[in-house]
A and B are shown apart, each in its own frame.
Chain A
Amino acid sequence: MKEEHTHKNAKKYGMVIDLDKCTGCGACMVACMAENNVSFRKDETDRLKSITWMRVYKITNGKSFPDTDICYIPRPCMHCEGKGHGAPCTSVCPATATDYSHETGIVSQIYTRCFGCRYCMAACPYHARYFNWWDPVWPEGMERSLSPNVSPRMRGVVEKCSFCFHRYQLAMDKAFAEGGRELEEHEYQTSCTQACPAGAITFGDLNNPEHAVHKMVQPDNEHGGRPKNPKAFRLLERLGTNPKVYYLSTRKWVRQMGDNYLEKELKAVR
Chain B
Amino acid sequence: MDSALIPKGLKRCSFGAYAFWLVVAGIVLLWGVYAMFLCWFKGLNQTNMNDYYGFALWIWADLAVIALGGGAFFTGFLRYIVGKDELKNIINYAVIIGFICYSSALLILAIDVGQPLRSWFIFWHANVHSMLTEVAFCLSCYFCVLTIEYLPIILENRKIDEVPFFHNLGHNMHEIMAVFAATGAFLSFFHQGSLGGVAGVLFGRPFSYREGVLIWPWTFFLFTWSAAAYGPCFTMTVTKLTEWISGKKLVKQNVYELLAKISGWMIGTYIIAKIVDTLYWAFVTAPSMGMTFMEFFTNNADYGLGILFVEIVLGGIVPAAILLTEKGRKNSFLFVVAIILGVIGVSVNRWVMVLQVMAVPTLPWEPWHLYSPSWQEVATTILPVAYGVILLMVSFRYLPVFPQEKELNS
Interface residues of A, Cβ cutoff 8 Å to B: 46, 48-49, 57, 59, 85-86, 88, 91-97, 113-119, 121-127, 129-135, 154-158, 235-236, 238-241, 257-262, 265
Contacts and interface: CB of A to CB of B under 8 A. Distances in A.
A241 B116 CA distance: 30
A123 B202 contact: yes
A92 B202 contact: yes
B115 A157 contact: yes
B278 interface: no
- List the 5 closest pairs (A to B, CB-CB), nearest first: A116-B114, A156-B114, A260-B290, A118-B54, A125-B204
Contacts of A262: 287, 290-292
> Most chain-A CB neighbours within 10 Å: which of B43, B124, B291, B363?
B363
Contacts of A113: 118, 121, 125
B51 A130 contact: yes
Given A92-B130, A157-B115, A49 B362 contact: no
B114 A259 contact: no
Given A92-B202, A239-B206, A259-B290, A121 B122 contact: no
Given A119-B198, A241-B203, A96 B365 contact: no
Nearest to B292: A262
A260 B203 CA distance: 14
Interface in B112-154: 112-116, 118-119, 121-122, 124-127, 129-133, 136
A122 B50 contact: no
A238 B51 contact: no
A134 B45 contact: yes
A95 B290 contact: no
Given A92-B131, A122-B202, A261 B290 contact: yes
Size range of the interface on B? 35 or more
Contact of A95 (B125, B131, B292, B358): B125
B369 interface: yes
Contact of A119 (B45, B116, B132, B203): B132
Nearest to A121: B54
Contacts of B389: none
Interface of B: 43-45, 49-55, 112-116, 118-119, 121-122, 124-127, 129-133, 136, 198, 201-206, 287-292, 357-358, 362-365, 369
Residue among A95, A119, A125, A154 with max Cβ neighbours from chain B (10 Å): A95
A94 B369 contact: no
Given A124-B204, A133-B45, A257-B365, A115 B118 contact: yes
Nearest to A51: B51
Contacts of B201: 85, 91-92
With most chain B CB atoms within 10 A of its CB, the pick from A97, A123, A126 is A123
Q: Name which of B53, B358, B365 has the most chain A CB atoms within 10 A of its CB.
A: B365
A242 to B, nearest CB: 11
Contacts of B198: 92, 119
Contacts of A258: 364
A126 B290 contact: no
Contacts of A236: 204, 362-363
A51 to B, nearest CB: 8
B204 A94 contact: no
A88 B44 CA distance: 24
B50 A46 contact: yes
A1 to B, nearest CB: 15
A7 B115 CA distance: 36
A252 to B, nearest CB: 14
Nearest to B112: A117
Given A93-B127, A124-B204, A260 B114 contact: no
Contact of A116 (B113, B202, B203): B113
Interface centre among B45, B51, B54, B133 (most CB of A within 10 A): B51
Q: Which of B114, B131, B288 has the most CB of A within 10 A?
A: B114
Contacts of B288: 238
Contact of B130 (A49, A93, A134, A257): A93
Contact of A115 (B54, B115, B130, B131): B115
B315 to A, nearest CB: 24
Interface centre among A97, A156, A238 (most CB of B within 10 A): A156
